[in-house]
Amino acid sequence: MTTPLIDQRITQICELGCTRVTEIIVVLEQGQSTPETADLRPTDQALVLKELQAIMAVYNTRKGGCT
């Protein structure tokens, strides 16, 4: 369950583009934070990660990936 804060943050991260979103996912999966998520609580970072993974799942199967 996401909150308006999480939704807003996900929108901001998505605006950075597909490549950066993928990079952020990798960092969050390693249990670290990125400048875009550093101010969030660990539970919120986990929610952001889950949402970003779901978003990218659509495109990871796509021929050409981000481009």
Which chain residues interact with another protein by CB under 8 A? 10-11, 14-19, 21, 55-56, 58-59, 62, 64, 66-67
Q: How far is the CB of 32 from another protein (least distance, A)?
A: 22
Q: How far is the CB of 6 from another protein (least distance, A)?
A: 13
Distance CA 21, CA 37 (A): 12
In the bound state with another protein, the residue whose beta carbon lies nearer, of 14 and 27, is 14
DSSP track, 27-54: HHHTT---TTTTTS-HHHHHHHHHHHHH
